[in-house]
Structure 1
């Protein structure tokens, strides 16, 4: 199977619209995005603005935004479908589209909300999420960033970690505590791309992979934000009175999309390894003729297809409005651990060449390893699943 032919959509998920969307994303990923990734990832450079502009014109920043607001009007299934195709070329490209999709549009003024949704849909309102902190990752209850009222503004101070795209973003959604109020709130910190507001300092985090989108450590020192910049449900669109349900849906959606991204990276490893086994000659014949290597490749391909079928099932459940917290955690756990193992095996099948930067399998391995960590580690997913099966362990 050629990379461009790729996996197709089987019944009951196949529609002409989805097939066209998949083919469009696949061609862009392999013809346009992958050459850029192959060149820039070793330089640890960000996705170029012109590539982001092309992605915007395809509509991928607004896959789940309603058509009347300028989006594609798709669901989680379409979002994951495109995410897999983009991740096959460069994981960061599949991640940057999550910084739109209506993020940072849940403002109070309806006209302003519609304006921001339209910008989000065309890739002109791409943000960053400042949720985690040095002492608050999976446990967001430990968030210590605080906003203090000062007239018509808040003064926000705190330390944020793992904030991808913070400098290049049009805005940053900041999770914090508002002095005198219970619980956590989100504030919309608007900014110019390439700049930081007064009081914000950003230090790049030196990662081993996941290049293409710089990740920052942020320090906020009495950053002035208007009181009107309060947004709902982590900055995502939400119906009135459905904040908690929207938050849970957002977390589930992020897990399923991460599964799709992991499948895309693992698929890249399988496709590259298939080509390598046909090209590499040892003992007078292509190494793809050796049964041990053939069987390893077959198992890798089967595991990728298994994870793909599962993420599509859970995405369809979400679009149907069915509760799927357990399934979202399961598919995130299964797909990301699969990706880490399949990409590692791809390096093994490349032999010594796999341990060089001359082949892309080392990039796939570095990126796949992260999918087991972000959006909730594998251990957090196991906790969610076991709690649903056995009940929570009492403190």
Structure 2
């Protein structure tokens, strides 16, 4: 994938074509071909048996440059923007959402955003671009999901090391990753309105297929998002060197929030990819399935369902293009990023559900991929901030924080104290 970003600022025409330079069309179409030839057959074979994403497929992704889309060229990446990143993510999710997600485990993550440009970190970024240094993120905890400022996992300084103790939940790829980024509290919050201070991030390297030393974990049984394991972790005095700290001590919450716009755009792209896959499968099935002597695609009820599905997908895609363009132009778009994450994920569940309806009883079997799209689409409304969190962000930005929200913050702080 030897393509560089266009230096021209695309004009956002109403149909979206103003965003799509020739380079971007090439990136999209290449990712589409890769997905249909390499990803989809693997997903159709392994997802029903809850198999793992094969190393062979991961290597092919690395050869395409997909793990280094956002890493600067000087470190071996493609040096592209959120737009190109999401174009590829949408296509990969059309095949298997887990593959579109593992792509994000490259990109050098918080290391790129908060790490120093030391020779060691430069080498790590080069490995990440090659798909050889992939990340798992340990943020959520058994009692802490959306309210990440309330994490209780602790890290205590002990000479030249930090000692990490506490539990983490929803850590996908904890076993297969090359390192885990752990967010832990290194100091108590100074006040109720500054609960986000005192949280630090640590890079814990480990062998693939293992957990860090003094860390126990168990896979969480899931209804979807197969291809890799999601863990509950218990850090029991895991020691890491002092230079494992990413960014400034006590200010890791800024790292969490800094990349949220792109992360939410990425989730929207995955949602759109799932919906697109379901739509295409529904159209193909409707043309083949005959009832009352004709294909069901001839029935108005089915035709209207497909028309509505396609319209919702296109609306989400155009909003995504706008958000990605704003991100790449360096303009703040936290409200719009929440909007596209919210709208696209809600849309994906609706569209994939309708695709099952079009398939009838066949859609409720594992013989067709629409049930996979449906299961995975349901998750997009939860991770990277639930739909309710997105609605709260949007409404807060439009109306200001409510008095109820302020009281909730004060009560949470009292509980921590």
Bucket of the pairwise TM-score, normalised by the shorter protein: over 0.9
Verify: 1:345 aligned to 2:354, yes or no: yes
1:231-251, Cα deviation, whole Å (9 max, x unpaired): 0289xxxxxxx9776643301
8 A contact 2:174–2:180 mirrored in 1: yes
Kept in 2, the 8 Å contact 1:259–1:311? The answer is: yes
Partner of 2:167: 159
CA distance in 2, matches of 1:108, 1:79: 24
Unaligned runs of 5+ in 2: 1-14, 190-196, 408-417
Please give the alpha-carbon distance, in whole angstroms, between the structure 2 residues aligned to 1:377 and 1:43. 28
Aligned residue for 1:393? 402
How far is the alpha carbon of 1:58 from its aligned partner?
0.4
1:279 aligned residue: 288
User: What is the CA distance between 1:177 and its match in structure 2?
Assistant: 0.9
- Displacement of 1:22 in angstroms is 1.0
Q: Which residue of 1 aligns with 2:29?
A: 23
Q: 5+ residue gaps in structure 1?
A: 1-8, 235-241
Counterpart among 124, 128, 131 of residue 136 in structure 2: 128
Superposed CA deviations along residues 210-261 of structure 1, whole A, max 9, x for unmatched, are 1012111111000011111000289xxxxxxx97766433011111110010
Indicate which of 46, 57, 72 corresponds to 2:63.
57
User: What corresponds to 2:156 in structure 1?
Assistant: 148
Check whether the contact 1:233–1:244 (CA below 8 A) recurs between aligned residues.
no
Question: How far did residue 108 of structure 1 move?
Answer: 3.5
2:109 is paired with a residue of what secondary structure? coil
Report Cα offsets for 1:303-357 as digits up to 9, x if no partner: 1111011101100001001110100000001000000000011111111111111
Cα distance, 1:11 vs. partner?
A: 2.5
2-structure distance, mates of 1:373, 1:244: 20
Aligned-partner Cα distance in 1 for 2:20–2:168: 42
Q: Figure out how many residues of one structure are paired with residues of the other and give that number.
A: 380
1:288 is the counterpart of 2:297: yes
Change (3 A) 1:139 1:244: closer
Deviations 1:174-207, CA, capped at 9 Å, x for gaps? 0001157852100111101011222111100110
Give the match for residue 84 of structure 2: 78
Q: Please report the RMSD computed on the Cα atoms of aligned residues, expressed in angstroms.
A: 1.7
Pick closer, same or farther for the CA change 1:307–1:357 going to 2, 3 Å: same
State how far apart, in whole Å, the 2-side matches of 1:10 and 1:382 are. 25
Q: Distance in 2 between matches of 1:62 and 1:153?
A: 31
- Choose from 200, 203, 219 the match for 2:234: 219
What TM-score do the two structures reach when normalised by structure 1?
Answer: 0.93
- The separation in 1 between residues aligned to 2:248 and 2:60, in whole angstroms, is 29
Distance 1:274 1:232 in 2: 49
Matched residues in 1 for 2:135 and 2:16: separation?
34
In structure 2, relative to structure 1, the CA distance for the partners of 1:207 and 1:123 (3 Å cut) is: same
1:29-44 alignment, distance < 5 Å: 29-44=35-50
